[in-house]
Structure 1
Amino acid sequence: MRAGTFVYPWDVIGDPAAPGLLADLGVASVTLASAYHSTRALTPRHPGHRIVTAEHAAVLYPPDGARWAGHPLRPYEAGEWAYGDAYGEAAGALADAGLEVHSWVVLAHNSRLGAEHPGTSVVNAHGDRYPWAPCIAQPDVRAYLVELAVEAAVRPGAAGTELESCGWYGFAHLHAHDKTAGVALGDREQYLMSLCFCPSCREGYGEEGVDPDALAAAVRGALEPVWAGGASGPLDGFEAPVLAWRRRTARTLQESAVAAVRATAPPGFRVLLHADPHPYRCGANVGTDPAHVLTVADGVVTPSATVAPFAPHAAPDTVLAANFGVVTGMGGSPATLAEDAHRAAAEGATELRLYHAGLASDADLAAVREALRKLG
């Protein structure tokens, strides 16, 4: 199967050997970050550094001032970790090595936006604000995300884009010096902790016939047993209308973002969403309805274990990219990649994504190279 890997511009810039090393892995494409959240990243082979600290969410190219004029929210430029047109410089070097380049755009994940515009953030049922999670129900946030999707996706030379976190973000984010593991939270508990009660969401719940104050009280009540070590309780009839509101909000954002990108992109430009088949999920792989999302985008990038629910809804040209971790130190398993890829293909995967060549050790990359050789 056709394989691609994720890469940051700083993995390539200043390292003349990097494009050739990536091409020698056997991948056909590289998904290169053009808009990314804050991170601290290892660069184990770079001749000039070992750690890159991206201090805040930023675009990794010069934003167009005219595009953003009059917008209350606008992207932040990167600092020295991705100075100038870092994306463009890295993309050019990768293309020269024969690799197809796709942009990698992180949308609803931005701590600096939340710090400087606190009213844009998700607010949980206890009144706690999540500054890393812009609320996608708010009109200004939605306008910002759609405009960012267009600008960061359609970069010179890009053959397509992958839109990450194009939907609800919430509790499950490894914040700086994270200390939230004292009570184990499963999928349902994380969902309850991610329900937003900002003014836009409260209005939206009302449109579904739900009293937001009663809902917030029900969420707090459902979570109360969790803090004592038990399981979460029911929401007393609120489940369906709340999920209906959130699904509609995420769907319309995805429809708007993809349509705006397509309207700007050249013919043949491929738009994929990082997606999860369970509509209540929040995070980088946003919750979707597989039957719907595959009528919107050209395909999805999804964790390798969640390919199968998308397969019945795929057209012959739909991309179902199974995403595999290949960094052993981050829980990946490059040694079993060939076997795991065969399983994903049997479940409907048409392509592979490898997370993430820039972070992987030499031993991990050797295992990837061998696996892709076996896969042909």
Structure 2
Amino acid sequence: MRAGTFVYPWDIAGDPAAAERIAALGVRQVTLAAAYHSTRALTPRHPAHRIVTARHSAVYYPWERARWAEHRLHPYDQGWLQDEDAYGQATLALAEAGLDVHSWVILAHNSRLGEEYPESTVVNAAGDRYPWAPCVARPEVLAYAEELAAEAAVRPGTAGVELESCGWYGLDHLHAHDKIGGAALGGVGGFLMSLCFCEVCAAGYAASGVEPERLRGAVRAALAPYWAGTAAPAPAGRDAEWAGVVAALGAELAEAVADWRSRTADAFQRATVAAVRAEAARLGRTDFRVLLHADPAPHRCGANVGVVPRSVLAHADGVVVPCAGGAAARDAALTPFVTERGGEGAPRRVVAANFPVVAGMGGSPGTLAADAAHAAELGADELRLYHAGLATDEDLRAVRAALRAVS
């Protein structure tokens, strides 16, 4: 299986040994962050630092002001790395080490954008806004995502892109000093808390046949047991989660919600993929590959957005699928995409299995060989490893051994 790993520009830029070290793992591809959200990241081997604090969402290349002149929303510069084009510097180093570089672009997750333009964000049933979650139903957010996807994806020396958060974002967010765990929301409560009630979404619900205030009241009522601590235990599994949503809202309201959100996410995904393809074609890059980080349950939100597998594989070149949580979770995540990627004569769509390999963050580098073999049996074509820059030396030794075993 072709293997690739995620890295940040700061893992490579300023470390002359980094690219060769990554190539020695046995990977052929690096998915390199070009536009990324705020984070605090460990750099265990960098000669100049051990922690990088990316204070806000930013791009890691010089963005073109002229192409953004007509946009209300725009990218932000980073100020924590010396090189303005850290992405370009890292790309050159990785290419010299014999690695293919694909860009990693975060779309509907941007806390600084949300702080500066709160009207463009998700607003829940209680009226609270989520500054980390631009609402993908809003035209200004779609325009921003199309432009960012095009500009950040098709960088010099880059052979493809992986689009993360390419759809609905919601409540879940790794926030500083997070204090929302007191109520065990699970998949059902988390989804209800992720429903947006901005004016665009309210009009969308109405177009789907439901009065928005009726839906808002139903969501509030369904959430009340969570605040009281009397909610039923969270159901496990994608199908069970959605059945729980239907039970909480009733079939009519749940169907209207699913209709609006699925249509909106599909349009957002198609538009951003098309924008990347148009930019690649403009630059003569007809072989440029576009993958989405995706979950096969359409109701799910977040970095791995919920999609309809058949629909997304009809217009993207493939998907990157989260495979944490053991064999059963892996089966449930990969199988719908493998099943729906087309029969004989259809374009070959990539299904990449994404495994966490940082033991300190819950990954299992020691079981990677067995996990990869199982993913291949299910029909996965490629591996993604999260994340070579964050991993310890011991994690990387286990990765090298695993990739030798499956090569």
Alignment partner, residue 352 of structure 1: 383
Name the structure 2 match of 1:15. 15
1:260 equivalent in structure 2: 275
- 2-side partners of 1:33 and 1:108: how far apart? 15
Say if 2:40 and 2:52, in contact at 8 Å, map to a contact too. yes
CA distance in 1, matches of 2:212, 2:82: 42
Q: Which moved more, 1:9-18 or 1:308-317?
A: 308-317
| Kept after mapping to 1: 8 A contact 2:91/2:157 | yes
After superposition, the C-alpha distances for 1:177-225 in whole angstroms (9 at most, x for unaligned) are 1111111121111110000001110011111111111100000001111
SS across alignment from 1:294: helix
| Contact 2:34/2:104 (8 A) holds in 1 | yes
Using the size of structure 1 for normalisation, the TM-score is 0.98
Deviation at 1:361, TM superposition (A): 0.2
Name the CA distance, whole Å, in 2 between partners of 1:137 and 1:249.
6
Letter of the 1:246 partner, please give it: R
**Aligned-partner Cα distance in 2 for 1:81–1:179:** 31
**Which residue in 2 is equivalent to 1:24?**
24
* Aligned equivalent of 1:308: 335
Contact 2:295 2:306 in 1 (8 A): yes
SS at match of 2:30: strand
RMSD value, Cα: 1.0
Note the C-alpha offset of 1:264: 1.3
1:164 aligned partner: 164
2:253 is equivalent to residue 238 of structure 1: yes
1:145 counterpart residue number:
145
Identity %: 64
Query: Does 2:351 match 1:320?
Result: yes
Aligned to 1:276: 295
Match of 1:112 in 2: 112
- 1:370 paired residue number: 401
Conserved 8 A contact 1:10-1:82: no
Match of 2:239 in 1: none
Q: SS state of the match for residue 180, structure 1? A: coil
Distance apart, 1:347 and its partner CA: 1.2
Equivalence for 1:223: 223
* Count of residues in correspondence between the two structures: 376
Tell me if the contact between 1:114 and 1:131 (Cα under 8 Å) persists in the aligned partners. Answer: yes
Kept in 2, the 8 Å contact 1:53–1:81? The answer is no
Contact in 2 for aligned 1:121/1:134 (Cα 8 Å): yes
Please state whether the residue corresponding to 2:275 is helix, strand or coil: helix
Contact 2:107 2:164 in 1 (8 A): yes
Cα distance in 1, alignment partners of residues 384 and 80 from structure 2: 28
Q: Is residue 25–residue 400 contact of structure 2 (8 Å, CA) maintained in 1?
A: yes
Cα distance change, pair 245–82 in 1 and its aligned pair in 2 (3 A): farther
Matches of 1:299 and 1:145, distance apart in 2: 19
For the residue of structure 2 that corresponds to 1:343, the secondary structure is helix
Contact 1:4–1:31 under 8 Å retained in 2? yes
Answer whether contact 2:53 2:80 (CA < 8 A) is retained.
Answer: no
Instruction: Give CA-to-partner distance per residue, 1:299-333, whole Å, 9 cap, x none.
Output: 00011221111111124621100000000010000
How much does 1:33 deviate? Answer: 0.2
What secondary structure sits across from 1:80 in the alignment? coil
Amino acid at match of 1:163: L
Q: Which aligned pairs between 1:167-206 and structure 2 lie closer than 5 A?
A: 167-206=167-206
CA distance in 1 between partners of 2:114 and 2:29 (Å): 33
2-side partners of 1:126 and 1:82: how far apart? 42
For structure 2, list consecutive stretches of 5 or more residues without a partner in the other structure.
233-243, 324-329
